[in-house]
Amino acid sequence: MRNLLAGVIVSVAAVLALSSAAIAQTGESQSNQTSKAKSPWKYYPMDRAVGPGGPAPKRDLSGTWAGPGSGAAVPRGTNAQDPTAPPMTPLGQRLFDMHKPIGKYSPAGTNDPHTRYCDPFGFPQNMTDEIRGITITTLADRTFILIQYMNIWREIWTDGRALPTDVESGKDGLDPRYNGYSVGHWEDDYTFVVDTTGLDPNTWATKNGYPHTINAHVQERFHRDSKNDMTLTMTMDDPKLYTKQFFLGEQHFRWIPNQMFDEFNCIPSQVQEYLKEMGDPAGYDLHAAPQRR
Amino acid sequence: MKTKAMVIVAFMAGVLAISLPMFAHHGAAAYDMSKPIVLKDAVITEFLWINPHPLIKADYKDEKGNVQHWTMEMGSTPASQLIGWTRTSLKPGDVVTLYVWQAKTGLTVGRFNKVVLADGKTMRDTQTGADNGGRADTGVGRSR
């Protein structure tokens, strides 16, 4: 029996070792695809950048990156999918209690406006939820983040302008936006810092239902770790709702060798069909064990 | 002896599965994951390759000859593609055996487990496609 058990353990360990070794091999990319000819128009999640790929270029995030939902073996990050909020104010708690996130209520019971109607996530949720692929590109006065899920782009001004100070009051003459108003600067040669405010108050800050106000201040720090690696950390200051700074998580991104990703959208008519045929009849069970995502 | 060995394999597979990034938009709390319902000789009526989850629709004739109309959801399209699914994997008229985790509501809807095609080939769900309801896409999307 011992021999058999040992054999099993050795076999599984060997499989793990082989897969690790394969991943650790040097070279630009690793492919587990079949020998079928590949289309230059298609994203191949098993074609993965291997290793750091060289030093990080200075002041450059440009390119197309695989996120944690890409299927490209990108590490999952910290706190990003189901973040834990700091203690909330009474107003924050009241708003939070009104939200019924999908993780607990399933599609049938949630009141998440994205799940039920494909309403935009809005920022910051669109940088933490369904992060499959992003492209970053730069003009002289702006940096754009193009988000694969829902074909969204964010505009980050780098011309030195100041952020609006109080969109909520209307004093700035500005309306809140799904992606808010963003400015960015290089803190050092490898760290690009983006500050955002003026967020649409109908959106949720996180998938698990934490709220934000219009005047919430979100800071993103994009760090280019190497040619193939980028790390994003996000925090939110929203003193009307939270008693301390909210750590929204850390996420990792990996360079996509062929710079392609596939389309993936929430289509309202498809969601209505899904809910009618499947999601609503399936119901929900609040007493079930907690579900991830 | 064999049982113990299988327990170890299952445990290690579980460890692997936990390390995988998740693709699901929601969990499986709405479904009875204790035992899949088997729909032998079910006839596919529609295969909807849609977001957020593809839907398989099939008619199944029970032992009394009554036709049940079933609908079941799969893992998302990008996740399913990673383990070989395409929008043409199932076609109306295909006669197959479907395994499904039925909704706790008792209606004929559920979470797809696996399908055995007419040629004997088995295709599974990404998240609940293992025979015990666990993930079936081990090796895909694993953290480096």
- Which residue of B lies nearest to A72 if distances are taken between CA atoms? B141
Higher-confidence residue of B55 and B18: namely B55
CB contact under 8 A, B29 and A285: yes
Chain A nearest CA to B63, separation (Å):
24
CB contact under 8 A, A45 and B82: yes
- Is B142 among the domain residues? no
CB contact under 8 A, A274 and B50: yes
B54-95 pLDDT, tens digit per residue, is 999 999 999 999 999 999 999 999 889 889 999 999 999 999
Contact list in A for residue B104 (CB cut-off 8 A) is 283, 285
CB contact under 8 A, A278 and B55: yes
pLDDT over 70 at B7, yes or no = no
Structure-token pair, residue A30: 């690793």
| A interface test, pick of B16, B26, B31 with most A CB neighbours within 10 Å | B26
**DSSP letters spanning A203-271:** S-SSTT-----TT-EEEEEEEE-SSSEEEEEEEEE-TTTBSS-EEEEEEEEEE-TT-----B---HHHH
A142-153 pLDDT, tens digit per residue, is 999 999 999 999
By Cβ distance, the residue of A8, A279, A293 closest to B8 is: A8
CB contact under 8 A, A71 and B141: yes
**Residue B138: its pLDDT value, please?**
55
Q: How many domains does chain B have?
A: 1
- Is B136 among the domain residues? no
How far is residue B34's CA from residue B81's CA, in Å, rounded to a whole number? 26
Residue B107 CA: distances (Å) to CA of A118, B30, B33, B72: 26, 11, 15, 11
- Is B57 among the domain residues? yes
Chain A nearest CA to B118, separation (Å):
25
| B interface test, pick of A274, A275, A280, A284 with most B CB neighbours within 10 Å | A274
**Residue A29: its pLDDT value, please?**
52
Structure-token pair, residue B70: 């079933």
CB contact under 8 A, A292 and B110: no
Chain A nearest CA to B77, separation (Å):
9
- Is B129 among the domain residues? no
CB contact under 8 A, B21 and A74: yes
By Cβ distance, the residue of B1, B16, B73 closest to A278 is: B73
Contact list in A for residue B52 (CB cut-off 8 A) is 115, 266, 270-271, 274
What is the mean pLDDT of the segment spanning B118-143?
A: 78
- Is B88 among the domain residues? yes
CB contact under 8 A, A73 and B143: yes
**Residue B25: its pLDDT value, please?**
62
Among residues A153, A118, A124, A119, the alpha carbon closest in space to that of A137 is found at A153
**Residue B11: its pLDDT value, please?**
38
CB contact under 8 A, B109 and A4: no
Cβ contacts of A170 within 8 Å, gap of 6 or more: none
How long, in residues, is chain B? 144
- Is B106 among the domain residues? yes
The complex's ipTM works out to 0.74
Contact list in B for residue A68 (CB cut-off 8 A) is 21
- Is B138 among the domain residues? no
pLDDT (tens, 9 = 90+) of chain A, 293 residues, equals 444 444 444 443 433 333 333 333 333 455 544 557 899 999 999 999 999 999 999 999 999 999 998 989 898 888 876 789 999 999 999 999 999 999 899 999 999 999 999 999 999 999 999 999 999 999 999 999 999 999 999 999 999 999 999 999 999 899 999 999 999 999 999 999 999 999 999 999 999 999 999 999 999 999 999 999 999 999 999 999 999 999 999 999 999 999 999 899 999 999 999 999 999 999 988 877 654 43
What's the per-residue H, E or C state across A73-126? CCCCCECCCCCCCCCECHHHHHHHHHCCCHHHHHHHHCCCHHHHHCCCCCCCHH
CB contact under 8 A, B5 and A265: no
- Is B37 among the domain residues? yes
pTM: 0.81
How far is residue A109's CA from residue B30's CA, in Å, rounded to a whole number? 10
Q: Which CATH number fits the domain that encloses residue B25?
A: 2.40.50
pLDDT over 70 at B143, yes or no = no
CB atoms within 10 A of CB B131: 11
- Tell how strand B37-48 and strand B67-73 pair up: unpaired
Amino acid (1-letter code) at residue B84: G
**What range defines the domain where residue B66 resides?**
2-124
Q: Radius of gyration of chain A from Cα atoms?
A: 21
Q: Percent of chain B scored above 70 by pLDDT?
A: 76
Structure-token pair, residue A77: 């990050």
CB contact under 8 A, A71 and B143: no
Chain B nearest CA to A179, separation (Å):
22
By Cβ distance, the residue of B21, B31, B141 closest to A282 is: B31
pLDDT over 80 at B2, yes or no = no
Instruction: Write down the mean pLDDT value for chain B.
Output: 82
CB contact under 8 A, A264 and B77: yes
